[in-house]
Amino acid sequence: MLPRFYDVTEGEILIDGIDIRNWPLKKLRDMIGFVPQKGILFSGTIESNLKYGDRGASDEEVEEAARTAQAEEFISSRPEGFQTEISQGGQNVSGGQKQRLSIARALVKKASVNVFDDSFSALDFKTDAKLRAALKEKTKDSATILVAQRISTIMNADQIIVLDQGRIAGKGPHRELMKTCEVYREIALSQLSEEELK
Amino acid sequence: MSEKKSSGMPMGRGGGLGQKTEKAKNFKGTMLHLATYLKPYKISVIIVLLFACCSSVFSIAGPKILGKATTKLYEGLIAWAMGTGLLTDFRYIRNRLLLLVVLYVVSALFSYLQSYIMSGVSMKITYELRKNISEKMNRLPLNYYDTRTHGEILSRITNDVDTVNQTLNQSLTQMITSVTTLIGIVVMMLSISIRMTLVAVLVLFVSMGLIVTVVKKSQKFFAQQQKSLGNLNGHIEEIYAGHHVVQIFNGEKEAIEKFRLINDKLFGSAWKSQFLSGMMMPIMSFVSNLGFVCVCLLGGYLTVKKVIEIGDVQAFIQYMRSFMQPISQIANVSNTLQSTAAAAERVFEFLAEEDEIRETESPVVLNQVHGNVEFKNVCFGYQPDTTIINHFSSQIDAGQTVAIVGPTGAGKTTVVKLLMRFYELNSGQILIDGHDSLTFTRRDLRSMFGMVLQETWLYNATVMDNIRYGNFDKSDEEVISAAKAAHCDEFIRTLPGGYHMVINEESSNLSQGQKQLLTIARTILADPKILILDEATSSIDTRTEVFIQKAMDKLMKNRTSFVIAHRLSTIRDADMILVMKDGDIIEQGNHETLLEKRGFYSDLYHSQFAEQS
């Protein structure tokens, strides 16, 4: 709903105090960095895909975004580096690499609101942790919205919204939710043990 | 592929001339191989060929007889005009026409009979090919399927067999009739007039030369057209699939611009190719009409000279009209034969693939399986020259839980595949209750295992039948109690039709979690001694996930379990942890000993809570 693929039925969503329906669509979408659940890439090169985030981005900016997204290592392991061809639908890179590239693409945009829609699911825990640490650093000044299944991914968020069958089941930081929200505790305990959750 | 490409080129008569066809590597060998399939039907095939010849010979005789009738009519007309003799000899004409009718009927009869017999034969052969393929598929090692795309294998079974079938059914007899017709027509034409035949052949060569020039020109544009079309489709597909991404990055304008560029290119090449191929028909008919005029002039001159009769001219023109058809048919058929050879070759290649290692002659049968598993010096690689698991040994006692952990792509499922003997070891042994797994039949071996994987497999039948797939001997009550144990019963009862709801082909009428619960129920029912579980529960809602975990825990009790673990609690409680990296098992032990080691596992463990420590 945030990038207005759909409009709200009732109520309003505000960015910087202004209803998103009052922002020009192009401007609104320029403000949002969006990483979809499935890493979707276009045919071209790695560079052209990353610059899709911002056509005017410099090579340094692109490299920095790739570094933050933990994608630099595998990019430089390819003989052509950033000029590596991406085939249609990104079939020649793995799921995790696709996710990292689409994260990097959103970072190139330097948006003021970043939306990550379950964008870490194909990453192993180690990369996931590294990426989040780097992200935290880089996106200090922008709002970040994370959609996730893994508790460890979102544990450190300022605010967690728990959704159950379309309804909001709980809202608040991790510690509070552990006490107040049954659904959240259930999910959390199913993934991690008591002491890890503290 | 190339068949698809060429089908997009409308080329009018004589179409086969410029098309590119897939070539078989060994045309002769494949055709001989295919001929061995025809052998049991030798007699039928000979009859078919004979009938095909007869059919075309009879139909060739037609125009000549008709010509005789025309001559008679003409003579009568002349005689009447001159005032001498009676009117035309209608009796003669009637007999001629009757003969003609009989000839055509017989010809049609022969052609009907031959195609009737031939379709029977070709269907039987195709049936046999399909049967061979399907038997072969069950004998092939899994490695074969891993190294090929599904599409490729599917296309061998469906398209390639179909192509062979079609050729046997039509092209073979078409070839025979075309050749006989061509020879027959030439003979007939020569018998009428050598000079006129020369003219006809000349016309043929001129028009063939024109076609080749035009086709050569247009081929280039057709290739361009196909390429642009491919690009266009690719672009549309890509943008459509990623349209959220396009929107969020404000890429609409760019996408439209790119579309316009490709579309312009497509337009350019498409109209040129269409124009050129559209010109072909007019050119051809112009040339052949010119030919008719020449033949008529010459014929008229010869008739006046009394070298030939007026009916012969009429017959000749008829022959000339049907002259082109067998030639283009032969061109077409020889193309089809090429692609058939390629198709048949692929089918035979498939049939000639190496089978799985044969079952042992004297299999061990265990009355009671305990579930002790031992790996002894196991080496394995998907390619024989690159081993990924090197000298792995481990002893697992009955009832223990083994957690397999490692980063994505570390090859966790490899261990599972080896246990089930989907792949054979390069060296070493896997022992179950002290017996080498090679000494069991695959069937017995696999019945000791139960698998619950992330990817569920359900088939198009009722819920009840799907659970019963674990063990077909079980009663409905037992199925239901297994479903209860797997926490399925509750949601099954809410389904329309309950246990008798039919799961559709894509099993899209169940959620991912429900499907997984069903496979757990199936495994509970099968009651195997050794379990293989994949804990990954992505894209499953949390409530169901809890159910799945409860059901899995229940399942694991008193069974030796290999768990591809994602939950830390499972990993910590496991009796043995196998840590995998880059395909190999690099560490083993329980949680505490592995942490003390400060190796890859402890890295992996700590990285998850990097921020906290």
Q: How many residues does chain B have?
A: 613
Q: Inter-chain contact A124–B408, Cβ cutoff 8 Å?
A: yes
pLDDT tens sequence across A55-85: 777 888 888 888 887 877 778 777 777 887 7
Judge whether residue B14 has pLDDT over 60. no
CB contacts, 8 Å: B408 with chain A: 96, 122-124
CA distance B42 to B46: 6
CB contacts, 8 Å: B247 with chain A: 3, 5, 29
Half-sphere exposure of B212 (CA within 13 A, CB side): 7
CA distance A191 to A88: 36
Of B244, B408, B610, the CB nearest to A129: B610
Question: Which domains, and CATH codes, for chain A?
Answer: 1-30 (no CATH), 31-148 (3.40.50.300), 153-198 (no CATH)
Q: State residue B267's pLDDT score.
A: 92
CB B279 within 8 A of CB B214: yes
CA distance B22 to B20: 7
Give the residue on A whose Cα is nearest the Cα of B613.
Answer: A196
pLDDT tens sequence across B212-226: 888 888 888 888 888
pLDDT tens sequence across A31-55: 787 887 777 788 888 888 888 877 7
Secondary structure of residue B249 in the 3-state scheme: coil
Whether A190 and chain B come into contact, CB under 8 Å, resolves to yes
CB contacts, 8 Å: A34 with chain B: 244-245, 248
Beta strands A167-172 and A160-164 are antiparallel
Residue type for B409, please? G
Q: Which of A30, A34, A42, A108 to mutate: most B Cβ within 10 Å?
A: A42
pTM for this one? 0.57
Q: How confident is the model at residue B85 (pLDDT cuts 50, 70, 90)?
A: low
CA distance B217 to B214: 5
Give the residue on A whose Cα is nearest the Cα of B230.
Answer: A88
Token reading at A181: 């929200």
Q: State residue B79's pLDDT score.
A: 77
Q: Provide Rg for chain B, Cα atoms.
A: 37
Of B241, B542, B608, the CB nearest to A129: B608
Judge whether residue B551 has pLDDT over 60. yes
Dihedral angle sign, alpha carbons of residues B288, B293, B294, B300: positive
pLDDT tens sequence across B506-542: 777 787 778 888 888 888 888 888 888 887 655 566 6
Give the residue on A whose Cα is nearest the Cα of B239.
Answer: A42
pLDDT tens sequence across B153-206: 788 888 888 888 888 887 877 888 888 888 888 888 888 888 888 888 888 888
B94 Cβ partners below 8 Å, 6+ apart?
A: none
Give me the DSSP letters along A122-144.
TS-HHHHHHHHHHHHHHTTTSEE
CB contacts, 8 Å: A43 with chain B: 234, 238
CB B514 within 8 A of CB B475: no
Q: Of B10-19, B273-282, B592-601, which range is least confident? A: B10-19
Q: Is B33 exposed, middle or buried (0-12, 13-18, 19+ CB in 10 A)?
A: middle
Name residue A145's beta-bridge partners: A115
Half-sphere exposure of B369 (CA within 13 A, CB side): 24
Token reading at B39: 């052998």
